Amino acid sequence: ISKDLDFKAVVDKRNLRKFGKLSFSLALVLIIFGVLFPGNFRQTLSAFSNPLEKINLPPKYEFTVTPGNAEAVKYADLKIGVKITPTPANFTKQIPQEIKLFLKNEAKEWENFDLEKIDKSLRIMPADKDVDFIYTFKEVKRDFNYYVAANGEKSEKYFIKVVDKPRVIDVKLTCNYPSYTNLKSEVKDENDGNITALVGSRVTVEAKANKNLEKALLTFSDGTKSEMKIKNKSAVGSFTIRKDGT
């Protein structure tokens, strides 16, 4: 009997064609989605492949925090700036309107502060053009850790090291008088920057600071400056007395 049956006529291929068209359409959608949003496609594929694993959603924002890890001079003001960039996972490409700054030092728990959103039309300083939000610490006194957060997402943690202001702790003045005077060189009272000497005398200034120096200058009453030679915490410079009030 089976030999007499025409299977091509008996089997209805319309459902198979519909299923084939549907499968092709779904495959085409997946390919387009994978090309346009590769990160989201991989995340979705991973979720379906591992249904029992906890899925970490990709971040919607990228935080650029300045100054990041840095040193700050004690009792000076310090600005924290934040620029937010939407990631490919952020379909709306919008950034938060509010950001929190979280801060912690050795003696306290985490504290939080609201950052100020910068009006684009009022960005005058060049540094302000690279940030969307800003917060100013007044007279920082101690080291602290900090990070920023918005809409449940956080930046990495950063550390600010507070250092003492560089200051002169010792001064030594050596006066070399003009040769016609036949006077010997004289070391003036230490830690007294004032000197009385004949015009034409050559004065050598030796200064010591409380920390290693990067640069040191002798500054005169007429506004001129002379760079000193530095080595670690010491600086040496010299000048010639040409008039009163030098």
Assign 18 a pLDDT band (cuts: 50, 70, 90).
low
Q: Are strands 78-86 and 133-137 parallel, antiparallel or unpaired?
A: antiparallel
Task: Return the C-alpha torsion angle 88, 92, 94, 95, nearest 10.
Answer: -50
Assign 108 a pLDDT band (cuts: 50, 70, 90).
confident
**What mean pLDDT do residues 37-55 have?**
56
State the amino acid at position 151 in one-letter form: N
| pLDDT tens per residue across span 167-218 | 888 888 999 999 888 889 888 766 666 777 888 999 999 999 988 888 999 9
- Provide the b/e sequence for 56-92 (b: ≥16 CB within 10 Å): eeeebbebebeeeeeebeeeeebebbbbbeeeeebee
* Least confident segment among 64-73, 99-108, 126-135, 156-165: 126-135
| pLDDT tens per residue across span 122-175 | 554 445 557 889 999 999 999 999 999 998 889 999 999 998 888 888 888 999
Distance CA 164, CA 211 (A): 8
pTM: 0.57
